[in-house]
């Protein structure tokens, strides 16, 4: 009976991993107002969460699980970029460069290609401490193959690259200056991911683990679920490709190029979790690598304002991320 019980207990977690996805881990405090979250931990142990809306809302907590407390807006006066949407900033991304935090954000309006990526800096990340520097040089209009939103910065052996993009021809990247306020002189952008079947690809995040760079991104319809749900499977989900370099050659688990519609699902709707996306990955000193994202809890509501903060630990033991 002891052996049988051991076998049954050992089978339960395996069954869960085969039949579904892990639910989001605990979150306390303010767990809404978390569309397109960006997570970083300050040296004093304080976690910061930045999110779309409210001129980039700032929340802090003593642990990734909370309790999260609203602290105010990052870009108090809105962006200095002269485009529609410069008072309603999207999709923040935050990185520590030397002793300075760089906060990248999007200036756009829904469904248009007239967009730009801006940047602000701070030495503490506290509300009221951010200096807006405006345009990074990444801008789009109808002449471009991409939409200049959803920025993500990565440091590759001392060289910085900014990845961005949404719909049209999806995800692009270019090199930044050594102090990454603007694009490096004379550089051209290049495509990292494209799905010609939907073009609904955005929110890329490049993360290095082991010998690989992993390109996480969101695919599907992100928003407006309270006005009408998309067809099953067409809502937001998180996918991934990987490469041995950060600047291209990304393929999915089946070897299909990410520029030709490839992409392996990491997390999608399950149970009461609907439309997870807007993700990032963080190497947490306590929990190890974590995937963080927003999602709708079906038991709470489908409005964009109901989007909740979700996070899970990631297992890379197979060479591919599993939550």
Express each pLDDT in 207-228 by its tens digit: 999 999 999 999 999 999 999 9
User: pTM of the predicted model, to two decimals?
Assistant: 0.93
Q: pLDDT tens digit string along 267-283?
A: 999 999 999 999 999 99
pLDDT > 90? residue 243: yes
Q: pLDDT tens digit string along 90-101?
A: 999 999 999 999
CATH match of 34-313 with 2.30.29.30: no
What pLDDT, on a 0 to 100 scale, did the predictor assign at position 85? 97
Q: Mention every residue, 6+ apart, whose C-beta is less than 8 A from residue 176.
A: 136, 153, 160, 161, 162, 182, 183, 184
What pLDDT, on a 0 to 100 scale, did the predictor assign at position 87? 97
What pLDDT, on a 0 to 100 scale, did the predictor assign at position 33? 87
What pLDDT, on a 0 to 100 scale, did the predictor assign at position 20? 72
- Residues 293-309, mean pLDDT to the nearest whole number: 96
Least confident residue range of 15-24, 140-149, 163-172, 250-259? 15-24
List the domain boundaries for the chain. 34-313
Q: pLDDT-based confidence at 9, cuts 50/70/90?
A: very low
What pLDDT, on a 0 to 100 scale, did the predictor assign at position 18? 40
More confident residue, 20 or 56: 56
Catalytic positions are 36, 202
What pLDDT, on a 0 to 100 scale, did the predictor assign at position 7? 36
pLDDT > 50? residue 58: yes
């Amino acid at each position: 009976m002891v052996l049988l019980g051991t076998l049954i207990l050992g089978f339960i977690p395996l069954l869960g991993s085969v039949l579904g996805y892990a639910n989001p881990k605990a979150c306390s405090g303010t767990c809404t107002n978390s569309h397109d979250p960006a997570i970083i931990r300050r040296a004093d142990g304080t976690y910061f969460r930045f999110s779309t809306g409210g001129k980039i809302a700032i929340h802090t907590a003593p642990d990734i699980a909370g309790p999260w407390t609203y602290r105010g807006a990052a870009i108090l006066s809105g962006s200095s970029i002269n485009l529609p949407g410069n008072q309603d900033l999207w999709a923040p991304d935050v990185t520590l460069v030397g002793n300075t935090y760089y906060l990248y954000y999007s200036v756009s309006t829904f469904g248009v290609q007239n967009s730009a990526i801006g940047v602000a800096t701070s030495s503490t990340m506290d509300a009221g401490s951010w200096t807006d520097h405006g345009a990074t040089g990444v801008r789009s209009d109808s002449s471009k193959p991409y939409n200049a939103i959803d920025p993500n910065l990565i440091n590759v052996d001392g060289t910085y690259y900014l990845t961005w993009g949404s719909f049209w021809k999806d995800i692009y990247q270019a090199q930044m200056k050594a102090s990454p306020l603007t694009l490096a002189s004379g550089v051209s952008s290049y495509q990292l991911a494209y799905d010609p079947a939907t073009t609904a690809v955005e929110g890329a995040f490049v993360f290095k683990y082991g010998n690989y760079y992993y390109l996480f991104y969101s695919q599907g319809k992100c928003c407006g679920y309270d006005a009408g749900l998309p067809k099953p499977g067409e809502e937001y989900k998180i996918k991934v490709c990987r490469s041995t370099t950060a600047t291209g050659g990304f393929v999915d688990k089946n070897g299909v190029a990410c520029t030709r519609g490839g992409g392996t699902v990491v997390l999608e709707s399950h149970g009461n979790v609907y439309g997870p996306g807007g993700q990032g990955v963080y190497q947490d000193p306590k929990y190890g690598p974590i995937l963080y994202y927003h999602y709708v809890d079906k038991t709470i509501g489908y409005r964009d304002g109901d989007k909740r903060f979700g996070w899970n630990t990631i297992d890379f033991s197979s060479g591919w991320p599993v939550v």
